[in-house]
Structure 1
């Protein structure tokens, strides 16, 4: 078996490794050229530090890796480990993980992160073998949401660019990779203040518009209540985007986030559950 970097492979080889690697997976994540390239750039994945395993000339496994500074520490993200069905259980995943950890060490990574589907016990056990531990339970929610705001609250809304979030003293930078502002530079962000001009919460999200120029759906990446915020204010947060019934979805929301409980009580259902895992490289 030979391991090459993604930058050394053709796009056809990379897509074959990915699509075969996730064949029969818990969630369908097949990608074409356009989707793959958009993801590579949007999520800050590194072609030079992501790897593909070959059996002769046949791509049989892949690991995509991204690197950022989060909370002042160099952090890596395993953005997907896939093994072709015929090669599962034959040592390919171990070889890829060992090479991945070696890359992290060479790159002076301090914290290694990834997410795994909660039901994928085999993958979770593999990651635990290489020093990862489960640190959070994450949920993808979706459903129809209707804003129910009986009376207007004294909430001031400030709309900002996602890139401005890390400069706020109350911003919580340690979030799942795909929920970070770096992965959502094309999104939108809002900060909410009470009548005393105290920050009570913020959102990072993306709106999807239909052909009639109306909001079709909202994807939430972050919805955080701060010390002075309450769950009762969440409807006002969402109403700052639209007052109409709308399709709403969350990406990797922490199960312990009060906003998650609120949304589940108000029409959203769990579509996928993941565990967040981390490895202290120090």
Structure 2
């Protein structure tokens, strides 16, 4: 094992170096990731990544590992979210990720963080075992889809833009709480990049979707509990016909949602575990 590894906060890290290491760490991952520096910075903003609480590993002044933490209230608990972790390929196998995690736990607990969430590919047994060894437990399975919608419907309702996110509540629309990346706070953080539209009946918002205008990723969509089984979701997606779209972190337990997404013609391309550790 390397003996000259320095574990430290990422407060003073060069974003360009961090962005490059992020891409290097994920270049041969199950789903390849390659973000521009601008896209990487937007990720940090969207996920509330706090570099003071994020962790780096350095050898001889060179950044060789990172652990990104977002911190916010998630429900009623102060929560940390792992927005990415990686080690440059030639330094793997030295338990650097575990060292970074162990370094972070006391500091997060001191900050009043109650729990930590992360996501990991279901095929990544090495990482899953490492996280379990650090006290994380699997909480749910998350599906990711992509493709071009092929479902054709005759829109019987007008799809209109709106900007009042307070209309979107768990009481009205959600069966299961969205994950960190799809949560309303994440959307608020990058609201200028989002298009929000919906369907109204009698001045009541009965269906909505939130999409990234730049990459057509769907963050959320939903139909009001009292207006389901009326093809409103199909109508809601009618304006995306012939457009490549992507949805990530769809809870596997939401059977009707997953069935609907597949009925659109989208393909399942990735599965992840959400894992949680209580501090």
User: Secondary structure at the residue paired with 1:80?
Assistant: strand
Q: What is the TM-score when the length of structure 1 is the normalising length?
A: 0.83
CA distance in 2, matches of 1:162, 1:53: 42
Please, which of 207, 210, 216 is the counterpart of residue 204 of structure 1?
210
Give the equivalent residue in structure 1 for 2:163. Answer: 161
| 146 and 32 in structure 1: CA distance in 2 versus 1, 3 angstrom threshold | closer
Give the equivalent residue in structure 1 for 2:113. Answer: 109
Please, which of 136, 144, 149 is the counterpart of residue 132 of structure 1?
136
| Aligned pairs for 1:40-55 within 5 A | 40-55=44-59
Kindly provide the CA deviation profile for residues 40-60 of structure 1, in whole angstroms up to 9, marking residues without a partner as x.
223221121111101222222
Give the equivalent residue in structure 2 for 1:170. Answer: 172
Give the equivalent residue in structure 2 for 1:179. Answer: 182
Q: How far did residue 202 of structure 1 move?
A: 3.2
Asked if the contact 2:78–2:113 (Cα under 8 Å) also holds between the matched residues in 1, the reply is: yes
Give the equivalent residue in structure 2 for 1:4. Answer: 8
Q: How far did residue 169 of structure 1 move?
A: 4.5
Give the equivalent residue in structure 1 for 2:153. Answer: 149
Asked if the contact 1:220–1:249 (Cα under 8 Å) also holds between the matched residues in 2, the reply is: yes
Asked if the contact 1:200–1:225 (Cα under 8 Å) also holds between the matched residues in 2, the reply is: yes
CA distance in 2, matches of 1:121, 1:165: 40
Alignment root-mean-square deviation, CA: 2.7
Which deviates more from structure 2 when the two are superposed, residues 63-72 or residues 218-227?
218-227
CA distance in 1, matches of 2:38, 2:216: 22
Q: How far did residue 233 of structure 1 move?
A: 2.6
Which deviates more from structure 2 when the two are superposed, residues 175-184 or residues 10-19?
10-19
Please, which of 234, 242, 246 is the counterpart of residue 245 of structure 1?
242
User: Secondary structure at the residue paired with 2:11?
Assistant: helix
Query: Is residue 235 from structure 1 mapped to residue 234 from structure 2 by the alignment?
Result: yes
| 34 and 248 in structure 1: CA distance in 2 versus 1, 3 angstrom threshold | closer
User: Secondary structure at the residue paired with 2:213?
Assistant: strand
Note the residue ranges of structure 1 that are not aligned, 5 or more in a row.
209-216
Asked if the contact 2:98–2:134 (Cα under 8 Å) also holds between the matched residues in 1, the reply is: no
Q: How far did residue 176 of structure 1 move?
A: 1.4
| 167 and 234 in structure 1: CA distance in 2 versus 1, 3 angstrom threshold | closer
Query: Is residue 271 from structure 1 mapped to residue 247 from structure 2 by the alignment?
Result: no
Q: What is the TM-score when the length of structure 2 is the normalising length?
A: 0.84
Please, which of 75, 78, 90 is the counterpart of residue 86 of structure 1?
90
Give the equivalent residue in structure 1 for 2:70. Answer: 66
Which deviates more from structure 2 when the two are superposed, residues 247-256 or residues 118-127?
247-256
| 166 and 58 in structure 1: CA distance in 2 versus 1, 3 angstrom threshold | same
| 162 and 40 in structure 1: CA distance in 2 versus 1, 3 angstrom threshold | farther
Query: Is residue 25 from structure 1 mapped to residue 23 from structure 2 by the alignment?
Result: no
| 136 and 156 in structure 1: CA distance in 2 versus 1, 3 angstrom threshold | farther
| 167 and 267 in structure 1: CA distance in 2 versus 1, 3 angstrom threshold | closer
